[in-house]
Amino acid sequence: MKTFKNFIGGKWQEPASGEFFENRNPANWDDVIGQFPLSDQRDVECAVLSAQRGFEIWRSTPAPARGDVLRRVGDIMAKRKEEIADLMTREMGKPLTETRGDVQEGIDTAYYASSEGRRLFGHTVPSELKNKWAMSFRRPIGIAGLVTPFNFPMAIPTWKAFPALTCGNAVILKPAEDVPHTATALVEVLLEAGLPPEVIQLVHGRGEIAGKALVEHPKVPVISFTGSTETGSFVGETCGRMHKRLSLEMGGKNAMIVLDDANLELALDGVLWGAFGTTGQRCTATSRLLLQSGVHDEFLSRLVERVRTLKLGDGRAKGTDIGPLISEAALNKVEKYVDIGVAEGGDLLIGGRRAQGGGKGLEKGFFYEPTIFARVEAGMRIEQEEIFGPVLSVIRVTNVDEAFAINNGVKYGLSSSVYTRDVNVAFRAQNELDNGITYINAPTIGAEAHLPFGGVKQTGNGHREGGWGVYDFYSETKVGYVDFSGQLQRAQIDNYLGTPD
């Protein structure tokens, strides 16, 4: 069995505990990828000390030069795209078509971050006093602690790490313990591209130990977390008490609304991808389908028939549409919610059980059939709570107002989608749907790397991943004044003409 290490202090090293955990293929639990460090507070402490040294080097590197390193990262990732996608599918499960896209997001983010090295703009503004210059500019903050999830093993760490690095910060990455191999590959790429070794630290291990130690460390002023709302609440409480800068990206319960005037074939393609892509393991997954009465029956019938054609299997096998869930725990959670849906009176139209082997080897992995509930009512638990699996709840609505109200009637506010030919409804949706992202005639998934990503309510805390806004998060704004008048001038006391009151 191959043994992997942390990257701390500019070198690959074993954890202080000497203990490791196994990383296995969720499509075939007999396939052991390797063992990875079970890190603890001691490893985090060493990582922080090293990152402090790295920060002093990196902060003094000109931002365009930092961007050049990120450009080389993108070039290397493009060359290794197929290799990284393959190892990602092996440890995470989603089909190669999706992991290739995951790597491509990292490549796009690298090139975008590279260009932002020349666009870390401040402002130069007029002073209210004569012979005085006023301006703002960006400064790096320090060490950024990044805690990332399993479902996008490359894309999400790059969303966080690349802007942080472009802004001049050092980074400590604690990836989900389900996907440590992809994080290791990312650090290898960063080092190959010429990033000074102590600027990046990789600490593997469990969230409740290594992740907690990173969040609680007093010398880590910036935390970016993607994961469950429950864990995010703990992270938020800790960072609030310690006055840390914090970005939270948490759960979703996203609705796709199909109105009577919609292009039904387009909407069918959208809901299949939105609900069952990544086996429903996306914070933006389409977990609620709101069908207007005029199209409800026809659309639902056609949807069930399309779902019957989806092929479950190993994501590296040709023709696979849906891979496994990430773990036994995830599989058990989906089963629990299906039982809840039946008990609540939902009409289980298709799925609702673990996938049978049938000679296809599915019994060795965590496969669950794509599942659809009809006759779901607003307020049911399967309509309100995040399942994070291939379960779709279908709700009949009579009009646009009802659909919008149901969309907004959950504690999350990440993504939404409306299929309509009515331009007025489309623009109403942009204004009235209480989400950070709204798609028109597209599913609830499909964010692009150069636009802000995030949500409202219990989905996040107001910050955004991606786009231009994330560079504000990873940098401090400093204001500078230069008075060359040769005399004392009193801002907001002396008048604008520079003469005494």
Q: What is the mean pLDDT of each run of 10 residues along the chain (501 residues)?
A: 97 98 97 98 98 98 98 98 98 98 98 97 95 97 98 98 98 98 98 98 98 98 97 97 98 98 98 98 98 98 98 96 98 98 98 82 95 98 98 98 98 98 98 98 96 97 95 98 96 69 50
CA 482 to chain centre: 42
For residues 161 and 195, what is the distance between their CA atoms, to the nearest angstrom? 12
For residues 295 and 291, what is the distance between their CA atoms, to the nearest angstrom? 7
Closest CA to 325 of 317, 334, 336: 334
Q: What is the pLDDT of residues 326-385, one digit of tens each?
A: 999 999 999 999 999 999 999 999 999 999 776 578 999 999 999 999 999 999 999 999
Cβ distance 37 to 204 under 8 Å? yes
Model-wide pTM > 0.75: yes
Residue 499, pLDDT score: 56
Domain ranges of the chain: 6-250+460-479, 254-440
Active site residue 386: no
Both tokens assigned to 321:
């549409």
For residues 236 and 241, what is the distance between their CA atoms, to the nearest angstrom? 8
Q: Which residues pair with 438 in a beta bridge?
A: 416
Active site residue 249: yes
> Is 254-440 the same fold as 6-250+460-479?
no
- Work out the burial of residue 328: count CB atoms within 10 Å of its CB; fewer than 13 is exposed, 13-18 middle, 19 or more buried: exposed
Both tokens assigned to 366:
């965590």
Catalytic residue among 105, 249, 369, 465: 249
For residues 261 and 426, what is the distance between their CA atoms, to the nearest angstrom? 12
Tell me which DSSP letter residue 368 carries: B
Q: What is the pLDDT of residues 432-450, one digit of tens each?
A: 999 999 999 999 999 999 9
Q: What is the CATH number of domain 254-440?
A: 3.40.309.10
For residues 150 and 323, what is the distance between their CA atoms, to the nearest angstrom? 14
- CATH class, domain 6-250+460-479, is alpha beta
For residues 387 and 365, what is the distance between their CA atoms, to the nearest angstrom? 19
Beta strands in 426-474 (DSSP E): 437-440, 456-457
For residues 359 and 97, what is the distance between their CA atoms, to the nearest angstrom? 24
Write the single-letter amino acid at 204: H
Catalytic residue among 283, 369, 386, 465: 283
Secondary element (H or E) of residue 471: helix 469-473
